[in-house]
Amino acid sequence: MAHDPLAFFTLDRGSASTAAALIAQVEGRFRLLAHAAQPAGLPVDPLLARLAGDVGMAEPGLLPVEGGETSPWTDWPRLEVATRPPRSALLAAATERRLAELEQVVSGAGWAVAGRISPDRTDALEATALALGKGLDLLIVGAAGRPTGEERRALPDLAALLQAVLERRRDLPCLLTGAAAEAIEGWPAARIVLGPAPARTASLAPDPLRSLLRRAAGELARQAGQRPPHVASGRAGAERAPAGPADGRAAFTAAIASLAAVLGQRIDAVDVGAAAGQRVLATPEGLRGQLELVDAALVPEAVLEDDRLADAILAWSTLRGDTFVLRDRVRNLRLWPWRDAAGEGARLRLAAARAALVRLDTAWRLADGGGGNAAADAPADLLVASGGAFAVAPAPAIALALLDTLRRPGGMALAYDHARVLAPLGSLDDEGDRRRLLTDLLDDILVPLGSAVLATGLRASRHPGTLRVRSHGQALEVELVPGAIQVVDLPPGQTGTVELEARDGTWLGMRAKRVAVEVGGGLGGLLVDTRELPLRLPERPERRRDLLAAWERPLWQEDAE
């Protein structure tokens, strides 16, 4: 990282919004001076000019000087990332089992699955109709490295059908994995890529086929050469992108790995945007797992046609009203994610974020199945939230949303990448530069949401247990309430020790009658969660809304405009 000039912008161009930040060196240390966000599609330079102007008005001394005057902001470097629009694949396999394995890898690499072809579910007519569908980027044929007898018998006919499909769709490239490559004879070689077989055992760890798919998505995005259109299908605003901002999700992953090394902690990070959601797990030793999922977008495109998906979002909402009207409101959130962000709109958005986190967590656990690293179940030291999904929610409510959905027993700190700076920092090529900037900026770019202690298995009785918080020589003792969330005021910057004492024991990854956990403060304070794991919400809408509202009330204080 160059030291001159000493100010630079970060830009995170998402599918629905663009976040910009101004960072400058102040007394030898990089600091976040200003940040803002705006809907995608608006020009970026005026946003940067406003950031520079605001800082120039308030603290002109913080900005770099050239010839006795503040240097022009247009000269300051930009660290820029852009979120690629998800690519769409048609999957084919000779058996349903192989198709499922293939889908897990493909969807975990951030691809949208446009259709599935297998001898058991599609005839030649349906398969050809799927291949003629619009918006397809790739046909992927999955087969094991050493196919089973059933697969070997079905592959020749499937290969003949798909070869014919490729003769009709001359614009469609094809990825043949595993033994499917044996069928390559007679196929249009210029459009064929060979890849490894999908892994039979799901794992969060880097996978060769997933890595290949990520590279393929990047290559297709470069060929398309366009900025992501608005997520609204009818409102494609095709703003041309500058030649090569780094991929936002890959950069976010790199930033989390660097952050884990800087803090020496196990870090779990979630990034929920309008086009996809992502989860990253990193330890000081390196990246442990990563999953990018189109279905974990704030409001997935399938919501436009699927009432159950809309209802799954509304199940997290405290909004009252006609179900059909609320479903329409969820669908409008998909069309215009930046609109209707005040009042009830903010609550609906956080409900959608919760549902997205649930989908992400479900896929995360599935992807971790049998991997042997138990990554999905181990609690992290720090849970980081990022993405436009959280942009208009109060910090304490974000903490609760994380705790509601990513439930692991134990204690952890919660933080929020409020200025969306992590991904741009992750785009730096040099690991040393990344770590140095993260070290400087840590306190500025990660808003401390608070700490959470999730202790399950507390039995209802007259005195189920006691919670003691010791901080700065003071002690606070409160009675534990089973099946509740209790908020203890612990401001940002303060640290303390939490002691849980339960008469019949409680579960924080291990059953114990007395447990002590170190915690840090935050805007949401300390959240002690004795609710069940997994969290089960009442079936009846009224009871569910009342319960959600009761949990949320202490953490979502409405201010007058």
Partner 1 sequence: MIVRAAGERALRELVLPRPGLVREPLLHFPLGPADRPLVQRGQLVTPGSPLFERIPDAAVAELELHAGEEPPAPGTLVDESTPLRIAAGRSLRFEGHGRVLYATPAHRLRAAIGRHPQTVSSPVAGTVELVSPAAVSVRASGLGLPGTLAAGQPAEGRLAIAAPGPDGELAGSSIDVASAGAILVAGARVDLEVLGRARAMGVRGVIVGGLASRDLRGFLASEARQRAAMHGGSPFALLVLDGYGRRPIPLAIWQNLAALEGAPVAISIEPPLLVLSADAAWARPSSGRVRIAAGDLLGREGTFLGPAAGLRGAAGVEQPAGRVLLDALEDETSGTERTLPLADLERLA
CA 466 and chain centroid, separation: 35
Please identify, using beta-carbon distances, which residue of 159 and 251 lies nearer to partner 1.
159
Residue 60 touches partner 1, criterion: CB under 8 A? no
Candidates 95-103, 389-397, 405-413, 477-485; binding stretch for partner 1 (CB under 8 A):
389-397
Task: Find the shortest distance in angstroms from Cβ 130 to partner 1.
Answer: 10
- Which one of 58, 65, 132, 475 is in contact with partner 1 (CB under 8 A)? 132
- Residues 25, 23: Cα–Cα separation, whole Å: 7
Please identify, using beta-carbon distances, which residue of 98 and 334 lies nearer to partner 1.
334
Please identify, using beta-carbon distances, which residue of 69 and 171 lies nearer to partner 1.
171
Please identify, using beta-carbon distances, which residue of 50 and 503 lies nearer to partner 1.
50
Half-sphere exposure for 344 (CA within 13 Å, toward CB):
9
Please identify, using beta-carbon distances, which residue of 207 and 444 lies nearer to partner 1.
444
Residue 186 touches partner 1, criterion: CB under 8 A? no
Candidates 125-133, 207-215, 456-464, 514-522; binding stretch for partner 1 (CB under 8 A):
125-133
Candidates 126-134, 144-152, 354-362, 401-409; binding stretch for partner 1 (CB under 8 A):
126-134
| Segments of 186-276 assigned E as strands | 192-195, 246-247, 267-272
- Which one of 167, 477, 504, 546 is in contact with partner 1 (CB under 8 A)? 167
Tokens for 518?
């170190």
Radius of gyration in angstroms for the set of CA atoms belonging to the chain, rounded to a whole number: 25
Comparing CA positions, the residue from 298, 378, 304 lying closest to residue 341 is: 298
Residues in the chain: 561
- Which one of 27, 28, 57, 134 is in contact with partner 1 (CB under 8 A)? 134
Please identify, using beta-carbon distances, which residue of 5 and 229 lies nearer to partner 1.
229
Residue 370 touches partner 1, criterion: CB under 8 A? no
- Which one of 19, 79, 395, 423 is in contact with partner 1 (CB under 8 A)? 395
Residue 304 touches partner 1, criterion: CB under 8 A? yes
Residue 430 touches partner 1, criterion: CB under 8 A? no
- Residues 520, 522: Cα–Cα separation, whole Å: 7
Output the CA angle 242-245-246, nearest 5 degrees.
165
Kindly write down the DSSP assignment for every residue of 48-63, as one continuous string: HHHHHHHHHHH-GGGS
Eight-state DSSP code of residue 189: G
Kindly report the number of other CB atoms within 10 A of residue 47's CB atom.
18
Candidates 76-84, 86-94, 263-271, 392-400; binding stretch for partner 1 (CB under 8 A):
392-400
- Which one of 289, 300, 394, 521 is in contact with partner 1 (CB under 8 A)? 394
Residue 507 touches partner 1, criterion: CB under 8 A? no
Q: Is there a contact between 416 and 3 (Cβ–Cβ < 8 Å)?
A: no
Please identify, using beta-carbon distances, which residue of 133 and 538 lies nearer to partner 1.
133
Task: Find the shortest distance in angstroms from Cβ 328 to partner 1.
Answer: 4
- Paired with 272 in beta bridges are 277
The torsion angles phi and psi of 438, rounded to 5 degrees, stand at -65, -40
Candidates 35-43, 69-77, 101-109, 464-472; binding stretch for partner 1 (CB under 8 A):
35-43
- Residues 472, 453: Cα–Cα separation, whole Å: 19
Q: Is there a contact between 10 and 23 (Cβ–Cβ < 8 Å)?
A: yes
- Paired with 78 in beta bridges are 9
Residue 26 touches partner 1, criterion: CB under 8 A? no
Residue 340 touches partner 1, criterion: CB under 8 A? yes
Residues binding partner 1: number (CB under 8 A): 68
Kindly write down the DSSP assignment for every residue of 311-379, as one continuous string: HHHHTT----S-HHHHHHHHHHHHH-TTSS-STHHHHHHHHHHHHHHHHHHHHHHHHTTT-SS-TTTSP
Residue 242 touches partner 1, criterion: CB under 8 A? no
Residue 518 touches partner 1, criterion: CB under 8 A? no
Please report the sign of the dihedral spanned by the C-alpha atoms of residue 341, residue 403, residue 313, residue 361: positive
Kindly write down the DSSP assignment for every residue of 471-540, as one continuous string: ETTEEEEEE--TT-EEEE---TT-EEEEEEEEEEEEESSSEEEEEEEEEE--TT-EEEE-S-SS----SS
Residue 312 touches partner 1, criterion: CB under 8 A? no
Residues 479-498 that bind partner 1 (CB under 8 A): none
Please identify, using beta-carbon distances, which residue of 212 and 333 lies nearer to partner 1.
333
Task: Find the shortest distance in angstroms from Cβ 254 to partner 1.
Answer: 29
Residues 313-332 that bind partner 1 (CB under 8 A): 324-325, 327-329, 331-332
Helix (H, G, I), strand (E, B) or coil at 273: coil
Residue 415 touches partner 1, criterion: CB under 8 A? no
Residue 188 touches partner 1, criterion: CB under 8 A? no
Please identify, using beta-carbon distances, which residue of 39 and 208 lies nearer to partner 1.
39
Residue 342 touches partner 1, criterion: CB under 8 A? yes
Q: Is there a contact between 428 and 438 (Cβ–Cβ < 8 Å)?
A: no
Please identify, using beta-carbon distances, which residue of 349 and 434 lies nearer to partner 1.
349
- Which one of 70, 148, 163, 265 is in contact with partner 1 (CB under 8 A)? 163
Residue 416 touches partner 1, criterion: CB under 8 A? no
Residue 52 touches partner 1, criterion: CB under 8 A? no
Residue 450 touches partner 1, criterion: CB under 8 A? no
Task: Find the shortest distance in angstroms from Cβ 184 to partner 1.
Answer: 15
Half-sphere exposure for 82 (CA within 13 Å, toward CB):
21
Eight-state DSSP code of residue 418: T
Cis geometry, peptide bond prior to residue 5 (ω within 30 degrees of 0)? yes
- Residues 241, 306: Cα–Cα separation, whole Å: 32
CA 116 and chain centroid, separation: 25
Candidates 54-62, 187-195, 235-243, 364-372; binding stretch for partner 1 (CB under 8 A):
235-243
The site for partner 1 (CB under 8 A) is made up of 36, 38-39, 41-43, 46-47, 123-125, 128-129, 132-134, 156-157, 160-161, 163-165, 167-171, 232-237, 304-305, 307, 324-325, 327-329, 331-332, 335-336, 338-343, 345-347, 391-397, 556-561
